[in-house]
């Protein structure tokens, strides 16, 4: 009895020490990922955890317009290529991010006062060139990012940005051009606050359903999942929403998950435990649907979060120590 107990304990301890998210995810057919920032790849601890734990990475900024076309007609792929090379040498996939968005655009584009025809041509050339460059090197593209208003109502659905309303059908066009540039890459619509129920999740659902019905090439929806202890969608409603999207024949990726402890209550340990529960419930929701095929967080260490580090939104602390959220993902996947 005593010997058995020791053996089982040893087994459990060794399992959790050897735990690697990507292997556990693979057992379920899920990619597990993080965004990656080229500027940190030279940092040994950063690179080691990124390379060991994840089977897919998303360039945090390196494939956005500002990075890839800093001057009109001049394309630079150095940063994005560094991400792809890192992924290749660590046997990882890459999610392309992104091709049309209202942010992280170069100023020549946003302040160029271009007319609609020129904007349309600029978008097409950009998509042809960037998708062409990364053909065969990324598994999917977030083609259009965050196109829908936070509170869509009465037919007023789309955010005004450099593309809209100048090119009213830019979403359809972007997907069609991306598909022409690489017929084999999967094309995603990606947005935040679209996870659960309400006007925005409905607007995202209606958009992608309409695209499917009209034969626009779209293969998936990215649910970013930027949430906090204060604002986090009801997980049953998330499960229902994932189901209705995948019922359209689309995949779902959780693309940018982080859970800020803002608005949490109790001690820090209690907040990190509550955060772990949110991560675990979302992983469980993804595991519950065969067409939820990737679970990606927006970074992995609180040292480098796009939020303030004191919001502690990620799986590792600022010293690269795994947090309760990491342990909960391991348990949920085991």
Q: Which of 62, 195, 251, 256 is catalytic?
A: 256
Told to check if 302 binds ligand XIL by CB under 6 A, we report no
Known active-site residue 195: no
- CA distances from residue 130 to 123, 243, 295 in whole angstroms, order as listed: 11, 32, 24
* C-alpha pair distances (Å), 248 with each of 141, 187, 243, 252: 19, 15, 9, 11
The answer to whether 34 contacts ligand XIL (rule: CB under 6 A) is no
Would you say 224 and 201 are in contact if contact means Cβ atoms under 8 Å apart?
A: no
Q: Please give the residue whose beta carbon sits closest to ligand XIL in the complex.
A: 306
Q: Does 256 participate in binding ligand XIL (rule CB under 6 A)?
A: yes
User: Which H or E run includes 260?
Assistant: strand 251-260
37 CA to centre of own chain: 13
62 binds ligand XIL (CB under 6 A): no
Q: Which residue among the candidates 62, 146, 195, 251 is catalytic per the annotation?
A: 146
Beta strands in 86-243 (DSSP E): 93-100, 140-145, 148-153, 156-158, 186-191, 220-223, 226-228
Distance CA 35, CA 200 (A): 24
Question: Contacts with ligand XIL in 168-227 (CB under 6 A)?
Answer: 224
Residue selected from 34, 79, 105, 145 as contacting ligand XIL according to rule CB under 6 A: 145
Q: Which of residues 79-138 bind ligand XIL (CB under 6 A)?
A: 104
Question: Whose Cβ is closer to ligand XIL: residue 54's or residue 333's?
Answer: 54
Over the window 260 to 299, marking each residue x when it contacts ligand XIL by CB under 6 A and - when it does not, the resulting string is ----------------------------------------
Report residue 255 CA to chain centroid gap: 2
Where do contacts with ligand XIL occur on this chain (CB under 6 A)?
A: 60-61, 104, 145, 224, 256, 306
């Amino acid at each position: 009895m005593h010997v058995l107990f020791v053996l089982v304990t040893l087994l459990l301890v060794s399992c959790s020490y050897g735990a690697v998210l990507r292997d556990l995810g693979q057992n379920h057919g899920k990619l597990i990922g993080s965004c990656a920032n080229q500027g940190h790849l030279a940092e040994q601890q950063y690179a080691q955890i990124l390379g060991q734990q994840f089977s897919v990475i998303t360039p945090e900024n390196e494939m956005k317009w500002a990075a890839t076309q800093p001057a009109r007609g001049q394309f630079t792929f150095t940063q994005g290529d560094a991400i792809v090379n890192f992924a290749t040498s660590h046997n990882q996939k890459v999610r392309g991010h992104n091709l049309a968005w209202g942010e992280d655009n170069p100023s020549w584009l946003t302040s160029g006062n271009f007319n609609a025809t020129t904007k349309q041509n600029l978008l097409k050339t950009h998509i042809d060139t960037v998708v062409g460059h990364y053909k065969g090197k990324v598994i999917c593209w977030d083609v259009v990012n965050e196109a829908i208003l936070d509170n869509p109502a009465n037919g007023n659905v789309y955010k005004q940005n450099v593309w809209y309303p100048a090119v009213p059908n830019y979403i359809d066009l972007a997907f069609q051009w991306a598909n022409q540039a690489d017929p084999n890459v999967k094309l995603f619509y990606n947005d935040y606050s679209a996870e659960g129920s309400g006007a925005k999740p409905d607007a995202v659902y209606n958009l992608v359903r309409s695209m499917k019905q009209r034969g626009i090439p779209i293969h998936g929806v990215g649910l970013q999942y930027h949430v906090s202890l204060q604002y986090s969608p009801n997980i049953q409603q998330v499960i229902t929403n994932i189901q209705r999207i995948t019922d359209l024949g689309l995949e779902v990726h959780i693309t940018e998950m982080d859970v800020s402890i803002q608005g949490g209550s109790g001690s820090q340990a209690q907040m990190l435990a509550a955060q772990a529960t949110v991560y675990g419930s979302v992983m469980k929701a993804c595991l519950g649907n065969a067409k939820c095929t990737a679970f990606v967080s927006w970074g992995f260490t609180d040292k480098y979060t796009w939020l303030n580090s004191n919001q502690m939104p990620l799986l590792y602390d600022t010293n690269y120590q795994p947090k309760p959220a990491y342990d909960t993902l391991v348990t949920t996947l085991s």
